[in-house]
């Protein structure tokens, strides 16, 4: 044969690289001539039919490759026998249970026992119902029309559609044309009665030779169920090479008892209502309608003739020429959008004035592998109650999610409750309404205070004037005032910074966390009175709300004051420190009666500078605060000095 091998190789490469799409719909109408009627008598699929059906599913059109979703048959015997054998073929390819058939409840036909049936992919579609209708007989329809109601899996009733499966009276002449028109009028009466807005496909073997025929015009006439040709190809189709690419009969070479004569008639159709042509929701995908195996390169010849350049393997074209005297008509349809919404986590508890985002991600989750397999998702995001904000967006299939941020109104303490809502306006959208309740507890700020009765941020503890010696303590508390009953934040003490005489005026403050509203922690301030003088210290307490969104800082100030008055025992020179100067006064007047000019040399007050006076100095040695620049003897030096002094004392006693 002279078919171009390059086309076949290119097709095989495309098929190998393209995976099957997930759920956009591939719908096929096919007169398989498998009925028991004069010239037929072959109710079982002919050899090679499985290869043809698989090749239809493997074919890439507009980037879409997928198994058949709906296979509309004409000229079958009984669905439980003939059609079931086709189900078995497809399940043998794609797995048990993938396909099922209609029940085929058509009444006996006027001219023969053949009837229309249907197979559907159970993974992608549900058969909701089926009926047959129409009168048959002389001057009426040759066979009843079957009507199927189908719905994509995962979608609601709005995404359902109807398939009218017809096998019109064959033949030329006024009588046959009138009978075809009778059936067309029955179909229009049925769909028109359902009202406007119905998605419907009118498929089957129409046996018409021209768009001018009354039956065809009846289907295309205005009204609720008006039909349209997706490829808009009116004209005289019969034996007209100008329409060669859409001819469907006959691909056969005349053997096997099938009608031959070459491909020269457009008998097989998929017409649709206008609802399929608006590119919204469930819609026909432009450019996908075609006669499988025929690209117009073969006219008035069998489909496997040398002239055919359709990109299929030779073996598939050979099978097409022998499995039926019609070619399949294939079209792809997009699914409606499917909305997926996720709301990100929000904090359970925040503080008044906190900035709290409510992240809302909207995704078009239509189950497809190609972006043109589903409608875009048009949606609106809004908040209600204490959830505020909103947005309008569009999400395309396979494009990932769109993030929008709503927010929580945290201006008032209490329970902030609301809802994040998403509504889609896309036609027949699945899961088009979404709402999620969001509750956030809003706390008032904690309120640090040194008293429980009011907000006191400065505490001054004045120890007053005390005598030398010992440590004096004074208790104080830090409170977390409860400003909003049950809705006040905990209090944290983060750091304490002291300045001034912190060595003399101290406290046992320590950082803490989680002080409940209405509660307090007790502490102690202390005053070391071992040194004479006036002392002051200041402590800055850095506090904050508990560590949640909206937390702020606050400051308390603790001031400590105290004075140590009186003479320090042993401080003979009055410099506030008992040291070497005081010792020198004792030694310089040692063993003498106290001269009137040096009364400080006699701290014992006995009128004589001796051991009692020395003991008073040594007993308070290093007490007080050394004057600036003075040296303090090391303990070892003082010990040696004490030994020397005692020797002098003993010697002077012996001399007395």
Concatenated DSSP letters of 99-117: EEE----PPPPSS-S-EEE
Query: What per-residue confidence (pLDDT) applies to 40?
Result: 54
Query: What per-residue confidence (pLDDT) applies to 121?
Result: 98
Note the pLDDT tens digit of each residue in 178-190: 999 999 999 999 9
Token pair 């001399």 is at which residue? Answer: 655
Q: Average pLDDT, stretch 557-577?
A: 85
- Strand, coil or helix: what is 212? coil
Note the pLDDT tens digit of each residue in 414-455: 999 999 999 999 999 999 999 999 999 999 999 999 999 899
* Same domain as 508, residue 438: no
d(CA 140, CA 146): 16
Query: What per-residue confidence (pLDDT) applies to 41?
Result: 63
* Same domain as 125, residue 15: yes
Q: Average pLDDT, stretch 553-574?
A: 88
Query: What per-residue confidence (pLDDT) applies to 112?
Result: 67
Query: What per-residue confidence (pLDDT) applies to 292?
Result: 98
8 Å CB contact between 165 and 144: no
* Same domain as 411, residue 362: yes
How far, in Å, are 39, 295, 304, 311, 350 from residue 12 at the CA level?
36, 17, 18, 9, 61
Longest distance between any two alpha carbons in the chain, whole Å: 169
d(CA 254, CA 262): 9
Give the full edge-to-edge strand order of the sheet including 471-480. 448-449, 471-480, 520-528, 505-507
Query: What per-residue confidence (pLDDT) applies to 60?
Result: 96
Q: Average pLDDT, stretch 460-487?
A: 92
The domain spanning residue 458 has which CATH number? 2.60.40.10
Q: What is the dihedral of CA 147, 151, 156, 158, to 10 degrees?
A: -50
Query: What per-residue confidence (pLDDT) applies to 468?
Result: 85
Query: What per-residue confidence (pLDDT) applies to 631?
Result: 59
Query: What per-residue confidence (pLDDT) applies to 111?
Result: 56
* Same domain as 243, residue 120: yes
pLDDT at 647 over 50: no
pLDDT at 337 over 90: yes
Structural domain count of the chain: 4
Query: What per-residue confidence (pLDDT) applies to 43?
Result: 86
Q: Which of 418, 443, 468 is the last residue of a domain?
A: 443
* Same domain as 130, residue 239: yes
d(CA 366, CA 22): 9
**pLDDT, greater one: 33 or 645:** 33
* Same domain as 230, residue 280: yes
pLDDT at 10 over 70: no
Residue 444 has, within 13 A of its CA and on its CB side, a CA count of 16
pLDDT at 78 over 70: yes
d(CA 503, CA 537): 9
d(CA 251, CA 299): 10
* Same domain as 487, residue 431: no
Any idea what DSSP says for residue 614? H
Note the pLDDT tens digit of each residue in 248-278: 999 987 766 788 889 999 999 999 999 999 9
Query: What per-residue confidence (pLDDT) applies to 135?
Result: 94
- For the record, the structure tokens of 459 come out as 């505490």
Q: Which of 519, 536, 565 is the last residue of a domain?
A: 565
pLDDT at 494 over 90: yes
Mean pLDDT value across the chain = 90
Note the pLDDT tens digit of each residue in 228-252: 999 999 999 999 999 999 999 999 8
* Same domain as 615, residue 544: no
* Neighbouring residues of 565: CB distance < 8 A, sequence distance ≥ 6: 465, 466, 467, 532
Q: Which of 565, 599, 620 is the last residue of a domain?
A: 565
Token pair 């003399």 is at which residue? Answer: 504
Confidence of residue 577 (pLDDT cuts 50, 70, 90): confident
* Same domain as 135, residue 64: yes
Q: Which of 133-137, 537-541, 618-622 has the highest mean pLDDT?
A: 537-541
Token pair 């009978």 is at which residue? Answer: 179
SS (H, E, C) 146-199: EEEEEEECCCCHHHCEEEEEEECCCCCCHHHHHHHHHHHHHHHHHHHCCCCCCC
8 Å CB contact between 340 and 40: no
Q: Average pLDDT, stretch 598-610?
A: 85
Which residues form the domain of 275?
5-334
d(CA 467, CA 23): 95
Query: What per-residue confidence (pLDDT) applies to 636?
Result: 46
pLDDT at 600 over 60: yes
* Neighbouring residues of 408: CB distance < 8 A, sequence distance ≥ 6: 346, 350, 356, 358, 386, 387, 388, 416, 418, 438, 440, 442
* Same domain as 459, residue 423: no
Query: What per-residue confidence (pLDDT) applies to 42?
Result: 77
* Neighbouring residues of 336: CB distance < 8 A, sequence distance ≥ 6: 152, 155, 158, 159, 281, 282, 366, 374, 375, 426, 427, 428, 429, 430
- 384 in any annotated domain: yes
Q: Average pLDDT, stretch 91-102?
A: 97
Element at 76 (helix H, strand E): strand 70-76
- Find the range with the poorest average confidence among 106-110, 162-166, 254-258: 106-110
Token pair 């909003």 is at which residue? Answer: 484
* Same domain as 477, residue 403: no
Q: What is the pairing mode between strands 339-343 and 414-424?
A: unpaired
Task: Output the pTM of the full model.
Answer: 0.79
Give strand pairing partners of 563. 465, 534
């Amino acid at each position: 044969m002279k078919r171009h091998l390059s086309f076949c190789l290119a097709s095989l490469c495309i098929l190998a690289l393209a995976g099957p799409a997930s759920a956009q719909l591939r719908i096929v109408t096919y007169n398989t001539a498998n009925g028991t009627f004069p010239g037929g008598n072959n109710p079982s699929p002919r050899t090679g039919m499985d290869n043809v059906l698989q090749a239809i599913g493997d074919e890439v059109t507009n980037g879409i490759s997928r198994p058949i979703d709906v296979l509309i048959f004409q000229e079958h015997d009984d669905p439980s026998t003939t059609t079931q054998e086709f189900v078995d073929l497809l399940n043998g390819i794609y797995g048990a249970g993938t396909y099922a058939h209609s029940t085929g409840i058509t009444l006996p036909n006027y001219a023969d026992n053949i009837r229309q049936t249907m197979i559907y992919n159970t993974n992608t579609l549900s058969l909701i119902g089926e009926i047959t209708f129409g009168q048959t007989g002389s001057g009426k329809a040759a066979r009843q029309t079957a009507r199927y109601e189908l719905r994509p899996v995962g979608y609601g009733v709005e995404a359902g559609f109807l398939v009218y499966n017809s096998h019109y009276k064959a033949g030329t002449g006024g009588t046959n044309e009138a009978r075809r028109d009778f059936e067309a009028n029955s179909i229009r009466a049925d769909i028109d009665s359902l009202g406007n807005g119905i998605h419907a496909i009118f498929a089957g073997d129409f046996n018409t030779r021209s768009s001018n025929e009354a039956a065809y015009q009846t289907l295309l006439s205005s009204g609720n169920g008006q039909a349209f040709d997706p490829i808009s190809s009116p004209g005289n189709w019969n034996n007209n090479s100008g329409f060669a690419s859409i001819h469907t009969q006959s691909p056969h070479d005349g053997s096997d008892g099938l009608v031959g004569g070459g491909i020269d008639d457009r008998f097989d159709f998929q017409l649709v209502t206008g609802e399929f042509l608006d590119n919204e929701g469930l819609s026909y995908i432009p450019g996908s309608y075609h006669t499988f195996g025929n690209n117009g390169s073969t006219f008035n010849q069998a489909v496997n003739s040398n002239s055919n350049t359709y990109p299929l393997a030779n073996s598939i074209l050979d099978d097409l020429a022998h499995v039926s005297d019609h070619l399949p008509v294939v079209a792809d349809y997009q699914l409606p959008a499917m909305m997926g919404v996720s709301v990100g986590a929000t904090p359970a508890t925040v503080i008044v004035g906190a900035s709290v985002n409510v992240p809302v991600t909207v995704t078009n989750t239509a189950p497809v592998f190609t972006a043109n397999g589903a409608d875009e998702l048009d949606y609106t995001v809004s908040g209600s109650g204490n959830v505020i904000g909103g947005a309008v967006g569009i999400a395309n299939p396979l494009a990932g999610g769109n993030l929008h941020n709503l927010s929580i109104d945290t201006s008032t303490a209490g329970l902030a409750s609301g809802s994040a809502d998403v509504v889609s306006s896309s036609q027949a959208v699945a899961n088009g309404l979404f709402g999620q309740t969001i509750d956030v507890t809003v706390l008032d700020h904690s309120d640090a205070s040194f008293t429980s009765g009011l907000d006191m941020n400065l505490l001054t503890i004045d120890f007053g004037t005390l005598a030398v010696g010992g440590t004096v303590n004074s208790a104080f508390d830090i409170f977390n005032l409860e400003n909003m009953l049950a809705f006040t934040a905990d209090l944290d003490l983060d750091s304490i910074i002291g300045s001034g005489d912190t060595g003399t005026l101290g406290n046992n403050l320590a950082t803490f966390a989680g002080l409940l509203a209405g509660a307090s922690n007790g502490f102690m301030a202390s005053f070391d009175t071992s040194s004479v003088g006036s002392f002051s210290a200041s402590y800055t307490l850095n506090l904050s709300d508990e560590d949640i969104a909206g937390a702020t800082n606050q400051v308390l100030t603790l001031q400590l004051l105290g004075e140590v008055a009186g003479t320090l025992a042993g401080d003979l020179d009055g410099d506030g420190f008992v040291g070497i100067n005081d010792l020198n006064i004792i030694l310089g007047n040692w063993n003498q009666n106290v001269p009137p000019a040096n009364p400080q040399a006699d701290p014992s007050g006995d009128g004589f500078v001796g051991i009692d006076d020395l003991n008073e100095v040594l007993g308070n040695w290093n007490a007080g605060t050394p004057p600036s620049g003075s040296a303090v003897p090391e303990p070892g030096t003082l010990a040696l000095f004490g030994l020397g002094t005692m020797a002098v004392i003993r010697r002077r006693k012996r001399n007395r």
